[in-house]
Structure formats: C-alpha cells, structure tokens
Amino acid sequence: MTPLDLFLEREIEAGSFPGGAALVGSGSEVLAEAVAGAASVEPDRSSATNGTLWDLASLTKPLCTGALVFENARALALDAPPGRYLPEWKKTRFDGITLERLLTHTSGLPAWYPVYVGGEGPAAYRRTLAEMEPEAAPGERVIYSDLNFLALGAVLEEVLGAPVEAAFDAAVARPSGSAARFRPADAAACAATERGDRFERAMTEARGLAYAGFRRGVVRGEVHDGNALRRGGAAGNAGLFGTARDVWQLARRWLEPGRAAYWTDRTADHAEARGLAWQGSRGAGSAIARMSPRAFGHTGFTGTSLWMDPDAGLVLVLLTNRVHPEVREIRFNEVRQRFHEAAYAAFA
C-alpha cells in the first residue's frame, strides 16, 4: 500500500469523507496517485474510480477564472475598475475596486450572498451583483468572497464575447490536455455531494431571505454551489468537474516561470498571502511548515485541495466528496494538512 493509499484509507475509516482521489506530481509527470472509497452512498452506493469526476468547487477560481485572466492579459487591465467592462458597476460605492482587488479578495465585497434570490441566469446576476454593498473599503482587509469571482466571470464574458465555459475549454483545458469541464453529461460518472441543499438553504434563511428552488434529493452531476448552479452551471467561482489527473494537467502549467506574478504574495500587509486568484502559504489553514514560502494553492468547499511548491517541484491534488450526503462540522484543513505531510514525507 502506497502512502497515498494509506492516507485515503485512514481518512475514510475516520469518517473524513466517503471517497477521494489523491495525486502527487511534478511539473512533468505524475509521481503517484490513488483513489478509494465511495463516489456515492445515497441513494445508491457506488465506488470511486480513477475516472470519477469530482466537483472541484472553488478550485474553479484559479484554474478557470485566474487562468482566463492570464491568457487574456492584454485585453484586461488589472488596475481597471469593473465598470470599465460592466456598465452596471459604474457606481460610487465601488470606487477603488479594481480587477486586482477582485482577484486578491481585497475588494471589500461580502463573503457570500445567494445571488439567485434576485433572479437566475447571467443577466439577473449582473444586476444583483451591481447592487451589492461593500463591507469594507478596497484594500482594507482580505475577505474571501465568491462574489469577487462571480463578478470576474461576468467581466470575462463581456470582454471575450463568449460564455465562461466555452472560453475555458478553448483557451485553458484543451491546450493543457485536461478534460476538466462544466456541466458534465454523465451524472453517474460524478461523485455525489449534498442532500437537499441544506447548508445553503440554512445560510439563506439566516439572512431573512426566501428562495423556492432549493433541490431536495442528493446532488450528483450538478455543481454543489448554488450561485454557480443557478447562473446556469458555469461561473467564475465554481462549476468545474474533473479527475485528479485533469486537475494536475491544469495546475502544472502554473509552475512555469512566466506565471509567477500570479501566485506571488500581493497582500503583504494583511494576515494571509493572496496572489491573483491564488492563495499563498502564509496564513493558509491547509498549508504546512514544510512548504516553501513560495508555495501556493487553493481549496474548495466540497473537500478539494490543490497546492504547488515551486521550490520542491511538487503538485499536490486532493479531491473528495466530504459534503456527501450532508455537510458536517469537521476541521477539514487538518485533513488537507495530513495529506500534505504524507506527500512531502514520501516525495520531497
């Protein structure tokens, strides 16, 4: 049994997640990979395989949105206000917000809001997002926010004249050799997530808001994130599905020297390191001490994690369905840390 097999088996036995896939690679090759457990336990049980498509959740932010910003850098100015591209954002409440502020989560926008209560689909989202009230002044602090990347997705679609999923497939996925995708055609190939949107329903109700369209059965083959789902299944903040190898193929390109400006720390005055769509190891709950100061990565609510260490030459991918069949209170960053410790012990 390999270190990755052992890690997965121990975590499944401990109840950290029903199933998962783990991969350790370099910029040029896969060094080890493993898969174990169940892709679903409700309503039917099915085993996870190397071909299981996992809901990547917020890994979509750097792997899709950040990558599209990089690929279209000549058409997008990081110091430009969103209102340069989206007329709805030409409002004084957004003075000081730039594309860079959105990418580094320093815009001051709230962490979350059920955008779909104002209407579903891209056009309704643009209107609702333009009415958001910031919680802080731009640059005042890091507020990790899905709204930043929903707005960035709208900017990209306006500039590129194409839906975000089409732009991602053409400019990012195919050149990388990755089959990561939005809206997978075969639900049975996907790992299941939550039953009945219970977590997001509770958050919505806690804000005194009502929405009649929450799902009731186990979610499988659809994005778990409600904002991405009700925008159409593809958004700047979430919606990607893929295997561990799909993620590795997308991720390894970020080890190229020409991309370092995107993962370099741009929030040195704040408690956590943020690059352009990426998180640095400083202040990151899933990072470990063995990671170099230049390590960068991202995590996702469904139980996903991607970290890269340019100095060690490692790409670390962990994909799970930890929200299946329900969201439980668990210190999942500690699970991610155990994965990273096992990977560094075996491969660094």
User: The domain spanning residue 224 has which CATH number?
Assistant: 3.40.710.10
Residue 83 within any structural domain of the chain: no
Q: Give the pLDDT confidence of 282-320 residue by residue, as tens digits.
A: 999 999 999 999 999 999 999 999 999 999 999 999 999
Using a 10 angstrom Cβ sphere, with 0-12 exposed, 13-18 middle and 19 or more buried, the burial of residue 27 is: middle
| 1-8 mean pLDDT | 96
Using CB atoms within 10 Å of the CB of residue 192, give its burial: 0 to 12 exposed, 13 to 18 middle, 19+ buried. Answer: buried
**Quick check: is 253 in a domain?**
yes
Residue 310 lies in a domain: yes
Number of domains making up the chain: 1
pLDDT tens-digit profile of 147-195? 999 999 999 999 999 999 999 999 999 999 999 999 999 999 999 999 9
Neighbour count for residue 206 (Cβ, 10 Å): 8
* Residues, the chain: 348
Dihedral (CA of 101, 107, 113, 114) sign = negative
Q: Tell me how far apart the alpha carbons of residues 293 and 290 are, in angstroms, rounded to a whole number.
A: 9
Report if residue 293 sits inside a domain. yes
In which order are the strands placed within the sheet that holds 54-55? 54-55, 240-242, 181-182
Separation of alpha carbons 107 and 159, rounded Å: 20
How confident is the model at residue 121, as a pLDDT? 98
The pLDDT of residue 90: 94
**Helix residue ranges per DSSP H, 64-130:** 67-71, 99-103, 122-129
Mean pLDDT of 202-215: 98
Instruction: Identify the pLDDT of residue 176.
Output: 98
- Percent above pLDDT 90 for the chain: 99
21-74: per-residue pLDDT in tens?
999 999 999 999 999 999 999 999 999 999 999 999 999 999 999 999 999 999
- Tell me whether residue 162 is in a domain: no
Q: Which residues pair with 320 in a beta bridge?
A: 20
Query: Is the confidence at residue 1, as pLDDT, over 90?
Result: no
Mean pLDDT of 337-343: 98
Residue 114 located in a structural domain: no
> Which pLDDT score is estimated for 195?
98
Work out the mean pLDDT of the chain and round it to a whole number. 98
CA–CA separation, 319 vs 123, rounded Å?
A: 32
Does 249 reside within a domain?
Answer: yes
Q: State the residue range of the domain holding 335.
A: 3-67+169-347
Per residue in 71-94, pLDDT (tens digit) is 999 999 999 999 999 999 999 999
**Alpha carbon distance 181, 234 (integer Å):** 9
* 102: in domain: no
Q: Is 194 helix (H, G, I), strand (E, B) or coil?
A: coil
